[in-house]
Amino acid sequence: MLAGKKIILGVSGSIAAYKAALIVRGLVRAGAEVRVLMTQAAADFITPLTLSTLSRNPVISSVHTDEGWNNHVELGLWADAYLIAPATATTLAKLAHGICDSALVAVYLSARCPVFFAPAMDVDMWLHPATRANVALLQSYGNHLIDVESGELASGLNGQGRLAEPEHILQRLEDHFGDQPNQTVSQDLKGRRILITAGPTFEDLDPVRFLGNRSTGKMGIALAEAAAARGAGVELILGPTHLSTTAANITTTPVRSAREMHAAALQRWPECTDAILCAAVADYRPETVATDKIKKKDGELTLSLVRNPDIAAELGNNKLADQRVVGFALETENGVENARKKLLRKNLDFIVLNSPRTAGAAFGHDTNQIQLIDRNKVTAFELKTKREVADDILDRLAADKPTP
């Protein structure tokens, strides 16, 4: 999948910069053409000569040199993908806020290709709210996170923050190009803009505890990628999960709580033709969130819960004639009856029913088994991969073409 691809590798000043040599070698062996950008700090950890020798191209560390100007705009247009690995906390902040003081950031701001960033730093730096906010901001721009891995760090601590292993980074790029639409994929959703909610929501009890569920976001991400492959623009609102998507034409908005997901959905809904509400949204949240950790005491603990806003009902009961809303129902008993009641109450166009009691279905699995229910009929499907399930759902949505 990487043969013939044009890849920019941006290297910033982390001890993990030595792994850039392995990344470049892997890309070249796979048949990719590689251009390397380095920050000045990166050269303290690995020499430009090493990376230019492996990539068979000059390494760029400045927009202008004694020999002339390195055209960052031209380079940004040249690439099929831009990979920044390792990305330090400083580099993440500069990318997120457009601080253009290096060739690495200048090319990023000029790039029209998909951008992947693979952070590397110590555990406390990775978990700091400032870093988390910068990562979320970069993802909200449509960039793709290659998540950190856990293990021994340069500080001697153990935890999250290690640069993803080179083979994992290369596999992520392989997966990205393997998922790209080709001429055999139907473009029957071209012109549609689809809002998709995915993953769980977390409702905080105190600074360290929350109410949540076992949703991973796999089904919603499969829907987003399948819809994008079929020509749709996708607004993906994604609850807390370690998963992300690398597909083009998907704008990801990370959220944590039901109210954050509700606000994001309402903001984007007027610009969308369809909504597929796949997220496992918490129905209730604590009435109050403790400012300090709740201490264990003798006796029972009683929590007072209040209702969260109902995203499906709000969108379904306020949709326009040319908008479609698809809901999900996870039921353990009386599935069809309960799902149809939900469909009618929330004014949905159809609803996807599944059950956690079906072997290989629902949370955490790569497969699912569903029934599609509308006001007139129930259509049942066998157990399939979640990507195949996504296409079954989208087939039904594509058949129901909105009237302009």
The string over 239-251, giving b where at least 16 C-beta atoms fall within 10 Å of a residue's C-beta and e elsewhere, is bbbeebbbbbbbb
Q: Counting every residue, how long is the chain?
A: 404
> Is the pLDDT at 180 greater than 60, yes or no?
no
Half-sphere exposure (Cβ direction) of 34: Cα atoms closer than 13 Å: 30
On whether 328 is known to bind a ligand per the annotation, the reply is: yes
Specify the pLDDT at position 65: 54
Average pLDDT, the chain: 90
- Domain 6-178 and domain 193-399, same fold? Reply is yes
On whether 293 is known to bind a ligand per the annotation, the reply is: yes
pLDDT in tens, 260-306: 999 999 999 999 999 999 999 999 999 999 999 999 888 899 999 99
> Is the pLDDT at 107 greater than 50, yes or no?
yes
- Out of 79-88, 124-133, 337-346, 360-369, least confident range: 360-369
Q: Please state the rounded mean pLDDT for residues 198-217.
A: 94
Q: Which two tokens stand for residue 112?
A: 């029209």
**SS3 label, residue 365:** coil
On whether 400 is known to bind a ligand per the annotation, the reply is: no
On whether 283 is known to bind a ligand per the annotation, the reply is: yes
Q: Which two tokens stand for residue 276?
A: 């597929």
Q: Which CATH superfamily is domain 193-399 in?
A: CoaB-like (3.40.50.10300)
Domain locations in the chain as residue ranges: 6-178, 193-399
Residues tagged active-site: 213
On whether 45 is known to bind a ligand per the annotation, the reply is: no
- Out of 71-80, 103-112, 178-187, least confident range: 178-187
The burial class, CB within 10 Å (0-12 / 13-18 / 19+), for 357 is exposed
Nearest residue to 391 via CA among 113, 181, 87: 181
Distance in angstroms between the alpha carbons of the first and the last residue of the chain: 39
In words, the CATH class of domain 6-178 is alpha beta
Confidence class for position 67, pLDDT limits 50, 70, 90: low
* Residues 6+ positions from 232 with CB-CB distance below 8 Å: 189, 190, 192, 193, 194, 249
Specify the pLDDT at position 404: 47
> Is the pLDDT at 210 greater than 70, yes or no?
yes
